[in-house]
């Protein structure tokens, strides 16, 4: 049994290492994309504002003013978003619910104290009548885990994932429309309508830049895939528990204590 437990832990560690590697690469991509995008938008808007300050350029001032204003607002919104999601931090660190901006630095302690670990273990296994590591209490706890996954984890990821999907569709559709409007504005601009067409063209161009930055810099499609994969992971855990519990003969199941430990490791929870 200790050998089986060690192999189960090793398998979970290997999965977690791969997750950290993938998340680390994605974190670097997000940092680079957001950093470059926000800097370019801010610098472009500042250049427009500086150009307007050099003198009176007539109708073009209105377009430049509107474009620079929209770009500054877009950069502000993206910075607020970055402060909220903190792409520089590992998603895995956020999933165990650590504060992004704690009042003071404290060491990350994921291991239980030795004394409390012993107490919890004694309390946890007290009163169990086991057969192949299974008991009625453990069965009830596994069924409760399934309900929590359905009610909390899967539902949360499903709701947010659908919102991200809708957002991705809107961004994908609006970007070519805005660029097309800007292009048509350049085509039909003349002396009679130059003022309002310049404003429309500048606004469409600025919004297109902001939308493009949000869609590609934020990698909205990748975020949707991440949520879809998470929902699939919880579905897999849920079905593996339900499949095990459908076997009425305890001796034909995987050892209960080993199975319980594997589920806890998969969900990032302690046994207690």
pLDDT tens-digit readout, 108-161:
665 556 554 444 444 444 445 578 889 899 999 999 999 999 888 888 888 988
Q: Are 255 and 4 spatial neighbours (Cβ–Cβ below 8 Å)?
A: yes
Please report the pLDDT score of residue 144 as a whole number. 93
* Rounded CA separation 42/180 (Å): 23
Length in residues, the chain: 272
Least confident of 61-65, 141-145, 234-238: 61-65
Mean pLDDT across 58-76: 77
What count of Cα atoms within 13 Å lies in the side-chain half-sphere of residue 122?
Answer: 6
> Which of residues 253 and 205 earns the better pLDDT score?
253
> Which of residues 236 and 181 earns the better pLDDT score?
236
Please report the pLDDT score of residue 140 as a whole number. 92
The chain-wide mean pLDDT, for the chain, equals: 77
**For the whole model, what pTM was predicted?**
0.62
Mean pLDDT across 2-31: 81
Going by C-alpha positions, the residue among 200, 219, 220 that lies closest to residue 208 is 200
Q: Are 63 and 206 spatial neighbours (Cβ–Cβ below 8 Å)?
A: no
Please report the pLDDT score of residue 117 as a whole number. 44
Please report the pLDDT score of residue 186 as a whole number. 62
Q: What percent of the chain has pLDDT over 70?
A: 77
Please report the pLDDT score of residue 126 as a whole number. 45
* Rounded CA separation 35/252 (Å): 55
Token pair, residue 84, equals 């909220």
Token pair, residue 154, equals 């899967």
Please report the pLDDT score of residue 216 as a whole number. 74
Q: pLDDT tens, 72-120?
A: 888 888 877 777 766 666 555 555 756 666 676 666 665 556 554 444 4
Least confident of 53-57, 130-134, 258-262, 267-271: 53-57
Mean pLDDT across 158-171: 88
Count of beta carbons in the 10 Å neighbourhood of residue 213? 21
Q: Are 155 and 227 spatial neighbours (Cβ–Cβ below 8 Å)?
A: no
User: What is the distance of C-alpha 269 from the center of its chain?
Assistant: 20
> Which of residues 131 and 20 earns the better pLDDT score?
131
Please report the pLDDT score of residue 119 as a whole number. 44
């Amino acid at each position: 049994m200790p050998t089986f437990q060690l192999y189960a832990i090793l398998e979970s560690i290997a999965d977690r290492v791969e997750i950290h590697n993938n998340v680390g690469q994605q974190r670097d991509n997000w940092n680079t994309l957001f950093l470059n995008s926000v800097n370019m938008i801010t610098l472009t808007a500042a250049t427009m504002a500086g150009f307007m300050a050099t003198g009176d350029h007539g109708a073009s001032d209105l377009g430049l003013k509107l474009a620079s204003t929209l770009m500054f607002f877009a950069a502000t919104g993206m910075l607020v978003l970055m402060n909220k999601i903190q792409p520089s931090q590992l998603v895995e660190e956020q999933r165990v619910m650590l504060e992004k901006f704690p009042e003071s630095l404290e060491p990350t302690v994921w291991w239980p104290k030795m004394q409390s670990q012993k107490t919890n273990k004694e309390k946890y296994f007290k009163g169990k009548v086991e057969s192949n590591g299974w008991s009625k209490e453990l069965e009830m706890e596994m069924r409760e885990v399934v309900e929590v996954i359905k009610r909390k984890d899967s539902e949360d990821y499903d709701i947010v994932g659908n919102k991200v999907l809708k957002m991705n569709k809107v961004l994908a559709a609006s970007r070519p429309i805005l660029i097309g409007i800007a292009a048509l504005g350049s085509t039909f601009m003349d002396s009679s309508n130059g003022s309002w067409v310049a404003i429309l063209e500048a606004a469409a161009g600025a919004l297109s830049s902001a939308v493009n930055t949000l869609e590609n810099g934020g990698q909205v499609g990748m975020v949707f895939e991440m949520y879809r994969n998470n929902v699939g992971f919880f579905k897999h855990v849920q079905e593996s528990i339900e499949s095990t519990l459908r076997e009425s003969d305890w001796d034909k199941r995987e050892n209960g204590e080993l199975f319980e430990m594997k589920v806890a490791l998969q969900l990032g929870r302690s046994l207690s």
